[in-house]
Structure 1
Amino acid sequence: MAQSPWHAKFETILRQGLPGLDHDKAPAVDVPMEAYGLDSMALIGIVGALESAYGVSLAGQVAVPVRTLTAGHLWGIVSAALQPSWDTGRPSPAAAPRGPAAPWIMA
């Protein structure tokens, strides 16, 4: 059996939020999660659960349309949020004021 590219905790959260995912199969890395029943409301629940489980904020990070978002995309976003910020002395371009905050989900 091939090893998943993500933590078991991540897959457990996906399974809870994807009603169309078979219990005996892992989500495919490159298949849009819409095929497993993902909609914008389900994504809000999944993102909230991931933020709680991993202690990260994903606000402003999930900008891929729900219809094309894959488990691989979402894991990439989560794993990037888990990386340490090595250059904390300089403000990041993302922290620069740009007007009102953009929504973190695009449907």
Structure 2
Amino acid sequence: MVATPWNARFEMILRQCLPGLGTDVVPAADMPMQAYGLDSIALMAMVGALESAFGISLTGQLTVPVRTLTAGHLWGIVSAATNPVWDHGRAPAAAPAGFTPAPWAVA
């Protein structure tokens, strides 16, 4: 069995959103997902599913053209959004009641 850098939840979403990725195909981390049927509509569905599954926002994070986006690249973006290294060790700042900060800031 081929080891992949991502977890099972991420791979399940890949399989749901990529029509060319059957149950018997292990997605390659460096293969453009366009080879598995990714188009702009499938990418929107995939981003929505990833945001829901991981409790993150990917707004402004996908700056790679659909034709060159790989599963490895997307997993890196998801990983960074779920565990941003820039705020490790810091105490959370006080926020107004009802405010939920996005896990990723885009400047």
Could you tell me the TM-score, scaled by structure 2's length?
A: 0.79
1:29 counterpart letter in structure 2: A
Aligned equivalent of 1:104: none
Query: Helix, strand or coil for the counterpart of 2:69?
Result: coil
Partner of 1:5: 5
- Conserved? CA contact 1:11–1:26, under 8 Å: no
Q: TM-score, normalised by structure 1?
A: 0.79
Identity of counterpart residues, as a percentage? Answer: 66
For structure 2, list consecutive stretches of 5 or more residues without a partner in the other structure: 94-104
Moved more, 65-74 or 21-30: 21-30
Taking structure 1 as reference, are residues 95 and 45 closer, same or farther at Cα in structure 2, changes over 3 Å only? closer
Pairwise CA distance, 1:3 = 2.1
- Correspondence for 2:49: 49
In structure 1, runs of 5+ residues without a counterpart are: 97-107
Cα distance in structure 1, aligned partners of 2:26 and 2:51: 21
Show the counterpart of 1:79.
79
Structure 1 segments (4+ residues) deviating >4 Å: none
Q: Quick one: distance in 1 between partners of 2:26 and 2:7? A: 12
Task: Look up the match of 1:17.
Answer: 17
Instruction: Summarize deviations over 1:35-69 as a string: whole Å, max 9, x none.
Output: 00000000000000000000000000011000000
Count of aligned pairs: 92
| Distance in 2 (alpha carbons) for counterparts of 1:42 and 1:7 | 20
